[in-house]
Amino acid sequence: MQISDSEKMLMDVLWSSSPKTARDIIAELDPELEWHEKTVKTLLNRLLKKDAVGFEKQGREYLYFPVLKQQEYIKGASESFLNRVFNGNVSSLVAAFTKSENLSTEDISELKSLLKEIDDGR
């Protein structure tokens, strides 16, 4: 499922806690966005069409909640990124990150632990 960056901002709010009204979502978004209620409702309607969110009507308000699980989204987005940028080659992805000057000793240790877990599991 493809979710735009703007839609993901709404999903992040709903993943943190839900259900929420459109106004609740606006209140939790970065104020610098200056999104109006209409913008948020448009994005929510897109997410509804994608079956990423659901809603229930409570009185005169709609309460939105995530249908798409955060872990499912992360898995799909990671696979999409891997395929688009590295042609599905995991070792190229890892090589790109390990050559980064931003890797701390802790990052390297975590990578080694992950690789050991994978190796031990086989």
Q: Where are the domains of the chain?
A: 5-66, 89-122
pLDDT tens-digit readout, 36-91:
889 999 999 999 999 999 999 999 999 999 999 999 999 999 999 999 999 999 88
pLDDT tens-digit readout, 77-121:
999 999 999 999 988 988 887 787 778 889 889 988 988 998 887
Architecture of domain 5-66: Orthogonal Bundle (1.10)
The residue assigned the tokens 């390990």 is 98
Return the structure tokens found at 3: 């979710």
Computed on alpha carbons and rounded to an integer, the radius of gyration of the chain in Å comes to: 19
pTM score: 0.81
